[in-house]
Amino acid sequence: MMRFRTREPALPPLLLLAVLVALLLLASASASALTPQEQRGQHIYLQGTSPSGGEITAVLGREGIDVSASVMPCVKCHGHDGRGKPEGGVTPSNITWEALTKPYGVTHPSGRTHPPYTERRLKRAITMGLDAAGQRLHVVMPRYQFAHQDLADLVAYLKQLGKSQDPGLTATTIRIGTILPPSGSFADMRHAIKAVLTAYFDQINRQGGIYNRRVELRFAETPEAPDARVRAARAFLEEAQVFALTGSFMADGVAELTTLIQAQQVPLVGVFTLYPQVSFPLNPYVFYLYAGLAEQGRALAAFAAAKYAPHRPRAAIVHPDEHHARAAAEAIAMQCQELGWKAVERISVPHGQFNVTHLVRQLHDTQTEMVFWLGPSTATMAFFQEADQHDWTPMVLLPSALAGRESFRVPERFHRRLLVSFPTLPSDHTPRGMEEYHQLAASQQLPPRHLATQFTTLASAKILVEGLKRTGREVSRQKLIEALEGIYEFYTGLTPAMTYGPNRRIGAQGAYIVTLDLKTKRFVPVSSWIEPD
């Protein structure tokens, strides 16, 4: 079971009153939590899609043009607080329940008047475009067509619009969570993540917090068994009630875990995974730092196509026949095709059946000159040794996650014939970024190991804090997401520049390419930053 821990110092008796006040604030925040029906309505209001999978259509203008409601969700005009966002000379109505149900009715700037809305009248306005007096609403107001249950859910949420406060947020605190790696196989990594986050947010709190809100950390320890992780994460989110997550471990089951994050509507900045979930429609709540296997593979293909143009050598993409590897192989193949590189073969090997002798013989006999290697790390060294036996020296390209320390033991003939993609390099570390880290490490006695993990975790927390600062004092989860989407070339001092957007959820969406120098036992950069279109 996933356990979560609160990192709070013991309080002396004189602070009992402060504790009671905090408990009252927490109780108030809990009371303002949305019901399941209101949560479904919130999803419709924000996304324009039905949580049940049903169709929602927006009918536009006098011509009655039908479009998906996801193009025109309620929030687009009425804002997150329901008070309306003036745009293009049009000021949308205040649709908070308090404004809609004023007992004396409403007089609009245009002179149009109407009595208070009831639930029935509001449903008519949403679906037919008629106000509480039966008059036509402004032509820019869509008429929405959807199932009765979706309409009821939306109205239930509109009654709470502007009232509810997101979980994990009070007037004086903001609760941030982290899903740590398992304490067994990843114990050192878990300790590094926990230590650097604790140190960083302690520093933030000493400096006054974020808009005078103190950061409270909650840590969830992931079970060893992958099939238990989603269940444990759900229990943690429901019990800990965090406002947002950062620096979280999702090496296995990332698709299921990020689906849970979306269902719980919890923003997450920084995920430890090789498989970012960035297919459309995007999960709006999850922000990744680095490219995964697929994106790094595309960078390798772009580098090779440019390096060896106009001659495009015969190449092969070797991968296990499993979901993530197939996706990465497909990304490489598509990148090659887009660049006009036709002589690229895909070789899919059934799981557990990597016969490197047969594989090398096949590639050698077809005069393959370049191999994109996505095979398991257990077969990598055997592949190089078998190639050496066949006196065959292709260029071999692979993502850094598949190139361990044993790479330096490959046969000498592969000197500078191995190309590896890295999502970040030490050259990304600025003097200021390293100074900040060293000060933090010295003051908080951070562990000397897993520095790359600490840098990534710290960068994740910095991006989250930047988003919270841009959001302002009146913070909400949705406002935080919008602020994060506005981040452009943000430098953490420890990573490449980070850029996000409404259609972009990987901050550094590319890679550097390095080669293996077997004489000096070093990785040597051979490219600048590569970010395929």
pLDDT, tens digit, 9 for 90 and up, residues 40-49: 999 999 889 9
Contacts by residues 497-504 (CB-CB < 8 Å, ≥ 24 positions apart): 498/289, 498/459, 498/463, 500/287, 503/282
List the domains of the chain with CATH numbers: 36-158 (no CATH), 173-290+428-502 (3.40.50.2300), 294-422+512-525 (3.40.50.2300)
The answer for residues whose C-beta is within 8 angstroms of residue 71's C-beta and 6 or more apart is: 48, 58
Question: What's the confidence (pLDDT) of residue 22?
Answer: 38
How confident is the model over 33-57, as a mean pLDDT? 90
Least confident stretch, 234-243, 307-316, 409-418: 307-316
Summarize pLDDT for 80-103 with one digit per residue, the tens: 788 876 766 777 888 988 889 888
Query: Does residue 236 or residue 308 have the better pLDDT?
Result: 236
CB count in 10 Å sphere of residue 262: 18
Q: What is the pLDDT of residue 58?
A: 93
Distance CA 513, CA 479 (A): 36
Given a cut of 60, whether residue 6 has pLDDT beyond it is no
Are the CB atoms for 283 and 261 separated by under 8 Å?
yes
| pLDDT grade for 33, boundaries at 50, 70 and 90 | low
CA–CA separation, 165 and 373 (whole Å) = 49
Is the separation of the CB atoms in 447 and 188 below 8 Å?
Answer: yes
Q: Report the pLDDT value the prediction gives residue 295, as an integer from 0 to 100.
A: 95
Query: What average pLDDT score do residues 507-516 get?
Result: 95
Q: Any long-range contacts for 53-61 (C-beta under 8 Å, 24+ apart)?
A: 54/146, 54/147, 54/150, 55/146, 56/144, 56/145, 56/146, 56/150, 57/144, 57/145, 57/146, 58/142, 58/143, 58/144, 58/145, 59/142, 59/143, 59/144, 59/145, 60/142, 61/139
What average pLDDT does the structure give for the chain? 88
For residues 484 and 283, give the distance between their C-alpha atoms in angstroms, rounded to a whole number.
Answer: 14
pLDDT classification of 207: cutoffs 50, 70, 90: very high
Lowest mean pLDDT among 346-355, 381-390, 424-433: 346-355
